[in-house]
Amino acid sequence: MPSSRWTTWAWMLLLSGCAMGWPKQSSSATSDIRNCTTSPPFLPPTVTDTSAQLNALRQRMQFYNISAYIVPATDAHMSEYIAERDARLAWISGFTGSAGTGVVTTKKAALWTDSRYWTQAERQMDCNWELQKIVWTDSIGEWLLQEIPAGENIGLDPFLFSIDLWNSYAHVLQGSSRTLVPIEDNLVDLVWGTQRPPSPTSKIYLLPETFTG
Q: Residues in the site for ligand NAG, rule: CB under 6 A?
A: 31, 35, 37-38, 65, 151, 153, 179
Residues 6+ apart with CB under 8 A from 21: 29, 30
If you ran DSSP here, which 8-state letter would residue 161 be given? S
| Cβ distance to ligand NAG smaller for residue 178 or 196 | 178
| Cβ distance to ligand NAG smaller for residue 82 or 156 | 156
Query: Least distance from C-beta 60 to ligand NAG, angstroms?
Result: 14
Query: Least distance from C-beta 65 to ligand NAG, angstroms?
Result: 4
Query: Least distance from C-beta 88 to ligand NAG, angstroms?
Result: 24
H or E element, residue 75: none
Residue pair 101/111 in contact by the 8 Å Cβ criterion: yes
| Cβ distance to ligand NAG smaller for residue 56 or 181 | 181
Rg value, the chain, Cα? 22
Q: Comparing C-alpha atoms, which of 157, 212, 204 is closest to residue 185?
A: 157
| Cβ distance to ligand NAG smaller for residue 36 or 85 | 36
Query: Least distance from C-beta 132 to ligand NAG, angstroms?
Result: 16
Interatomic CA distance for residues 104 and 118, integer angstroms: 19
